[in-house]
Amino acid sequence: ESKRTGKNQIKEFEEESRQQILRTVEIEKALAQALDRSEFSLVYQPKVSLTQNRLEGVEALLRWHHPVLGHVGPDEFIPIAENTGLIHQIGTWVLRESCLAWVRWQKTGVKPFTLSVNVSPLQFAREDFVDTLQATLDATGMDPMFLELEVTESSMLSYEQSTREKLAQLHQFGIMISLDDFGTGYSSFRQLRELPVQVLKIDRSFIVNLFTDRNQEAIVRSMIQLGHNLGMKVLMEGVETSDQLEWLLNEQCDYVQGYYFSRPLREKEVVKHVKSVTTYIEFGKTRA
């Protein structure tokens, strides 16, 4: 009986992985044409400064709509794009399109805010990364002082001479670096100490059980303090409730992002948002 269940489970597992492989192959094929067919778009999620109670900037997030597959999320297709090497073209497109959007926002007369762009470790690792970036800045008219790159810990893992040099060059341009998905990677305390990043972005997974587990509060509190003690600012992503916001205000978190404030917005909606929302926190409500 149990043997039989075991066999069935293996069969199910095999069927599942077969389906998985088929889907991956399908996405690989579709991705190869996605740029030419203009299937990508960008949305922008506000980042809120808690200390200044205003918009700090927006993060560009990639969206893909395929005529047959429908919407495919970046968590699914970015790893595939990385495996096939397409990430370089896609990443360059994201950077260029988001910089162009930023320049258009500026033309509407709004007060300038930061543009954050996610950069894959593979993109960052390429030798011509800084040159490509420079070319994009020149071509679009993006002001590097308002550009922030979000890199993950794994980009920094091989924190060798070339990474060091790249970060120094970016710093010279006036570009900021934030460490995305912080807490999920493998960076050691020593690496953290040496990293020239300005912002720690604590991964959303850390806020999900903030109040269901006492230890979780202690961990997130320590992460915020660690960032501050290293001279960095700290951003919490995935903020969805006023309780979470209140807790973060109390813990002196610098920036927040999440559905509580805003979902990712289309380019035009960003201008509406900037013009209509002038304050994010009602202090009477959230602070004792």
Sign, Cα dihedral of 149, 60, 121, 259: positive
x/- map, 140-179, ligand C2E, by CB under 6 A: ----------x-----------------------------
Q: Which of 31, 48, 56, 118 binds ligand C2E (CB under 6 A)?
A: 118
CA distance linking residue 97 with residue 103, whole number of Å: 10
Name the one range near ligand C2E by CB under 6 A: 8-16, 18-26, 155-163, 254-262.
254-262
Q: Are 143 and 175 in contact (CB under 8 A)?
A: no
Using only C-alpha atoms, the chain has a radius of gyration, in whole angstroms, of: 21
- Which of ligand C2E, Mg ion, none does residue 174 bind (CB under 5 to 8 Å by kind)? none
Closest CA to 210 of 256, 151, 178, 265: 256
Using rule CB under 6 A, residue 96 touches ligand C2E: no
Q: Which is nearer to ligand C2E, 91 or 227 (CB)?
A: 91
Residue identified by tokens 């927006």 is: 58
118 contacts Mg ion (rule: CB under 5 A): yes
75 binds, among Mg ion, ligand C2E, none (CB under 5 to 8 A by kind): ligand C2E
Compute the distance between CA of residue 177 and CA of residue 50 in angstroms, rounded to an integer. 19
Pick the binder of Mg ion from 181, 206, 239, 264 (CB under 5 A): 181
Q: Which stretch binds ligand C2E (CB under 6 A): 15-23, 128-136, 171-179, 234-242?
A: 234-242
User: 265: which DSSP letter?
Assistant: B
Furthest C-alpha separation in the chain:
72
How many helices (H) and strands (E) are present in the chain, helices listed first?
A: 13, 9
Interaxial angle between packed helices 129-140 and 87-107, expressed in degrees from 0 to 180 and rounded to the nearest 10: 30
Residue 255 sits at the vertex; the CA angle it makes with 244 and 102, to the nearest 5 degrees, is 130
Say which entry of Mg ion, ligand C2E, none residue 187 contacts (CB below 5 to 8 A, set by partner kind): none
Contact 260, 47 (CB under 8 A): no
- From the list Mg ion, ligand C2E, none, pick the one residue 244 interacts with, judged by a Cβ distance below 5 to 8 Å according to partner type: none
Give the per-residue contact string, 36-55, with ligand C2E (x = CB under 6 A; - = no).
---------x----------
Site string for ligand C2E, 261-280 (x = CB under 6 A): ---x----------------
| Contacting positions for Mg ion (CB under 5 A) | 118, 150, 180-181, 237
